Amino acid sequence: MKPIALEETLSLADYERVRPRLRPLFIHEKERRRLAVGAHLTLLFENAQTVWYQVHEMIRVEKITSREAIQHELDTYNELIPGPGELSATLLIEYADIAERDIALRRLIGLERHLWIVLIGERLPVKFDERQVSAEQVSAVQFVKFPLGGTRPERFQEIAARGEVAIEADHPSLAARAVITGPIGAALTEDLFQS
């Protein structure tokens, strides 16, 4: 997938004008890309469309108008677009109680060594953004990539349809597993065909 170029962005005024029409479409797209892995991990799988929307929402919230500031947002969020042979996601570590979350984020140090994508029983490590890894605590929002070890889009589609693709966490403080199949499997297959 190609990164989003500055020329592909809308002005703040133009985005405000079309947002009521676009927002429900993007919310639907994000929902079909959401995967709960146990009770506390959620993956939001990203592609060029979800990143385009996120950039525009940041421009809107922060009232960004300068080309340089918009380019900075693009540079930041374009990193979420998956490259060939990989998937990309925003990982959310979620706890309803803030105090419980703070304790959990300290307990989950090392999570970057305990999250996997599993393809027909083969575990492949997830790549975390090293800039977000800390020895004190885990960030509640992480950007992660899933290298698929040369798995072709057709093969991914086939094994996802059979329920043989999963995300697995095996951290001593958090163990969970979720299968990628159905609508999310179809969405991620589309991404792989586009990379």
Structural domains in the chain, CATH included, are 1-31+48-81 (no CATH), 35-45+84-195 (2.60.40)
pLDDT digits (tens, 9 = 90+) for 102-143: 999 999 999 999 999 999 999 999 999 988 888 888 999 999
* DSSP letter string, 83-130: -TTEEEEEEEE--SSHHHHHHHHHHTTTGGGSEEEEETTEEEEPEE-G
Tokens 């918009």 correspond to 70
pLDDT digits (tens, 9 = 90+) for 22-67: 999 999 999 999 999 999 999 999 999 999 999 999 999 999 999 9
Tokens of 84: 């060939």
Give the residue among 4, 2, 141, 21 at the shortest CA–CA distance from 59: 4
